[in-house]
Amino acid sequence: MHFDHQPVNESAPQSLASQQGNARLGMRLFIFYTSLYSLFVAISAFSFSSLAIPLFGVPAAVTAGFGLILGAIVLAVLYARACTSE
């Protein structure tokens, strides 16, 4: 089974390179963020006591939660700035 690395293109050929570049960047950022999110869920489920470790004066659970929310905002802004327009 062969998976394409870019979304199946349905639009005009002149914007193909731009679309593929955006899609590659989006996929990299998606994999990066998904890894962080998965790590947080896995620690919560299987290493619960780790969430109690103090980070900046509060349990790591709080710091990690803030990090995931703020991290998503930062990555979204970076993605928007890096994407080329169609």
Partner 1 sequence: MLTDPSPLAMLIFLIFVGFTLGISFWFASKSKSSASYFAAGGQIPWFVNGVAFAGDYLSAASFLGICGMIARYGYDGFLYSIGFLAGWVVALFVIAEPLKRMGRYTFADALNSRFQSRAVTFAAGLSALVVSAFYLIPQMVGAGALIMPLFGLPHWMGVIAVGLVVTVIVVSAGMVSTTYVQFIKGALLVLFSGLITILILNRGLTSTDDPVAMQPQVLTVTTSGEKLIDGTPLGSGAGQARIRGVGQLASLAKGPNGEDRTSTGPLSPWGFLQELNQSQVILWNENTQSTEKGKVTTYSPIVVSGQEVLMPGRSPLFQGIKSDSIWPKLNFISLMLALFAGTASLPHVLIRYYTVKDGRAARQSTVVGIATIGVFYILTLFLGLGAMTGGNIDLTDSNMAAPLLARTFGELPFALVSAIAFTTVLGTVSGLIVAASGAVVHDLLVGWLQIPLSDHQKVRFGKLVALLVSVMAIGLGIWFQKFNASFLVGWAFSVAASANLPALVMVLFWRRTTGAGVAASVLVGMLSSLTWILLSQETFQNVYGYAKNDAAQMALVPFSQPGIVTIPLGFLVVIVVSLLTRPQPATENE
Q: Which residues bind partner 1 (CB under 8 A)?
A: 1-4, 6-8, 10-11, 19, 22-23, 26-27, 29-30, 33-34, 37, 40-42, 44-46, 48, 51-52, 56-59, 61-62, 65-66, 68-70, 72-73, 75-77, 79-80, 83, 85-86
Question: How do 58-59 and 54-55 pair as beta strands?
Answer: antiparallel
Q: Which is nearer to partner 1, 14 or 69 (CB)?
A: 69
Q: How far is the CB of 49 from partner 1 (least distance, A)?
A: 9
Q: How far is CA 28 from the centre of its chain?
A: 8
How many C-beta neighbours within 10 Å does residue 27 have? 13
d(CA 15, CA 21): 10
